[in-house]
């Protein structure tokens, strides 16, 4: 009681009980399991977001991201938010109403980039391929010649269908046609070769929760000098204060001015991203890429023995970090997923967007990309298939 008034909402009984967080093996398209070292970093003492120790951690992250992106871009940092937030930061800062942008779409992430472009008032053109089919350089070049976009966007690792998009040569085509080159690398960064500077990528974003092994909440991002010039020539202000590149560049120490408060960053997430990048640095990028390739090769061989087929037919464009597996005719994909989770506490995911109901998706990312996990997921998938076939006959 407060005076003669009673509380309109009582204390929730649920919050008086312990929180239940079971241990699961996350072999879906992300997030991946977080290594003990990175989990431990999340338990370190909270620091202020402008404390010198925090700013030093941010500086370490910038160097680590330049390494994994393979770029010398000064404007390389991590947005406080998920990979989606990285997408919005790139788009909001580089396009304005009326700009023609061209989006390559062969899965849900291309669809979402196109949707965001429309929300921002851009004149969006879509280069469409069937789900599971990568784009050829010739297709891209022809479309750029037709539409003359200010920006071309493509997804490097299309996690909804398991496609790895070749990027070599696209930057040259874009730059010859006065067009910026934007890449979504959320599902690929760290697990496959990435050379931002060599490939002429002008803007790229990713997520912390996949190969980098950190929890969701930070989005690596990088902008070239071409992208910065485009941003500085914009006629209207960025529609988001939170994602305004002027403020973010200053807060991350990417400009010449003294660092000023912009927002309260997720400090513990920064600790964990820093440790994820440290683990990649210790292993070496090439070693990390090879570990993911080797795990994927073992998975492909095991799937073949089970009589299963990969959704992406072209082996050269299969994404090692997320594999899409065709659901056999007459098989209830969801029954297999639920059975494996309930019996083994192992996550195998269904499709997403255009691939929904057509595939299962198995992720091999970061801490989870090892031969033991490949054997485990193949074993439980086989059991799930047998269970599905047995129960369907009853």
Q: How confident is the model at residue 136 (pLDDT cuts 50, 70, 90)?
A: very high
As a whole number of angstroms, the distance between CA 303 and CA 300 comes to: 5
Query: What percentage of the chain carries pLDDT values higher than 70?
Result: 98
* Residues β-bridged to residue 359: 326
259 is in an annotated binding site: no
**What dihedral angle (degrees, nearest 10) is formed by the CA atoms of 226, 82, 25, 355?**
-70
The domain defined by 36-281 folds into 3.40.640
* Residue from 127, 148, 150 nearest 139 by CA: 127
Q: What pLDDT, in 10s, does the model give residues 108-123? A: 999 999 999 999 999 9
Enter the pTM of the model. 0.95
User: What DSSP assignment string belongs to 198-254?
Assistant: TTT-SEEE--TTSTT-PPSSEEEEEE-HHHHHHHHT-SS--S-STT-HHHHHHHTT-
Residue 3: the pLDDT is 66
Question: What is the 8-class DSSP label of residue 318?
Answer: B
Q: How confident is the model at residue 5 (pLDDT cuts 50, 70, 90)?
A: confident
Q: What pLDDT, in 10s, does the model give residues 183-230? A: 999 999 999 999 999 999 999 999 999 999 999 999 999 999 999 999
Q: Is the pLDDT of residue 394 over 60?
A: no
Residue 392: the pLDDT is 63
3-state secondary structure of 344: helix
Residue 7: the pLDDT is 84
What's the mean pLDDT in 135-144? 98
* Residue from 381, 324, 388 nearest 350 by CA: 324
Q: Is the pLDDT of residue 154 over 80?
A: yes
Phi, psi dihedrals of residue 267, rounded to the nearest 5°: -55, -45
What's the mean pLDDT in 60-80? 98
Q: For all residues of the chain together, what is the average pLDDT?
A: 96
Q: Is the pLDDT of residue 372 over 70?
A: yes
Q: Is the pLDDT of residue 274 over 70?
A: yes
Q: What pLDDT, in 10s, does the model give residues 290-310? A: 999 999 999 999 999 999 999
Per-residue burial over 332-349, b = 16 or more CB atoms within 10 Å of its CB, e = otherwise: ebebbbebbbeebebbbb
Query: For the chain, which residues make up each domain, given as ranges?
Result: 25-32+285-391, 36-281
Residue 141: the pLDDT is 98
Residue 391: the pLDDT is 77
Place of tokens 């989770």: 341
Q: Is the pLDDT of residue 388 over 90?
A: no
Name the helix (H) or strand (E) containing 294: helix 285-305
Q: What pLDDT, in 10s, does the model give residues 25-69? A: 999 999 999 999 999 999 999 999 999 999 999 999 999 999 999
Greatest pairwise CA separation for the chain in angstroms: 76
Q: Which CATH architecture has domain 25-32+285-391?
A: Alpha-Beta Complex (3.90)
Assess whether the region 25-32+285-391 and the region 36-281 belong to the same CATH fold: no
Query: What percentage of the chain carries pLDDT values higher than 90?
Result: 94
């Amino acid at each position: 009681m407060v005076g003669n008034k009673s509380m309109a909402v009582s204390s929730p009984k649920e919050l008086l009980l312990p929180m239940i967080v079971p241990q699961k093996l996350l072999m879906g398209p992300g997030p991946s399991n977080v290594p003990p070292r990175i989990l431990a970093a999340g338990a370190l003492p909270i620091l202020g977001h402008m404390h010198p120790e925090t700013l030093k951690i941010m500086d370490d992250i910038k160097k680590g991201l330049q390494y994994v992106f393979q770029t010398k871009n000064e404007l390389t940092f991590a947005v406080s938010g998920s990979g989606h937030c990285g997408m919005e930061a790139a788009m909001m800062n580089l396009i304005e109403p009326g700009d023609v942008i061209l989006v390559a779409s062969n899965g849900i992430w291309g669809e979402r980039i196109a949707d965001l472009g429309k929300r921002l008032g851009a004149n969006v053109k879509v280069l469409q391929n069937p789900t599971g089919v990568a784009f050829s350089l010739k297709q891209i070049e022809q479309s750029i010649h037709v539409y003359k976009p200010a920006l071309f966007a493509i997804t490097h690792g299309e996690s909804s269908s398991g496609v790895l998009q070749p990027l070599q040569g696209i930057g040259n085509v874009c730059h010859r046609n006065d067009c910026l080159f934007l890449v979504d690398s959320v599902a690929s960064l760290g697990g496959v070769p990435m050379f931002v500077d060599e490939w002429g990528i002008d803007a790229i974003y990713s997520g912390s929760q996949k190969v980098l092994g950190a929890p969701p909440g930070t989005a690596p991002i990088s902008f070239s000098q071409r992208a910065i010039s485009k941003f500085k020539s914009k006629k209207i202000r960025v529609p988001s204060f939170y994602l305004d590149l002027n403020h973010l560049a200053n807060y991350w120490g990417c400009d010449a001015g003294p660092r000023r408060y912009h927002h309260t960053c997720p400090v513990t997430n920064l600790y964990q991203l820093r440790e994820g990048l440290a683990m990649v640095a210790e292993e070496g990028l090439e070693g990390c890429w090879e570990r993911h390739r080797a795990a994927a090769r073992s998975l492909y061989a095991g799937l073949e023995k089970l009589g299963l087929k990969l959704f992406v037919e072209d082996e050269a464009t299969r994404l090692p970090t997320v594999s899409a597996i065709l659901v056999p005719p007459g098989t209830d994909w969801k029954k297999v997923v639920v059975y494996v989770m309930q019996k083994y506490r192992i996550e195998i995911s269904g499709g997403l967007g255009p691939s929904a109901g057509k595939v299962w998706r198995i992720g091999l990312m970061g801490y989870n990309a090892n031969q033991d996990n490949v054997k485990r997921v193949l074993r439980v998938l086989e059991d799930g298939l047998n269970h599905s076939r047995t129960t369907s006959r009853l």
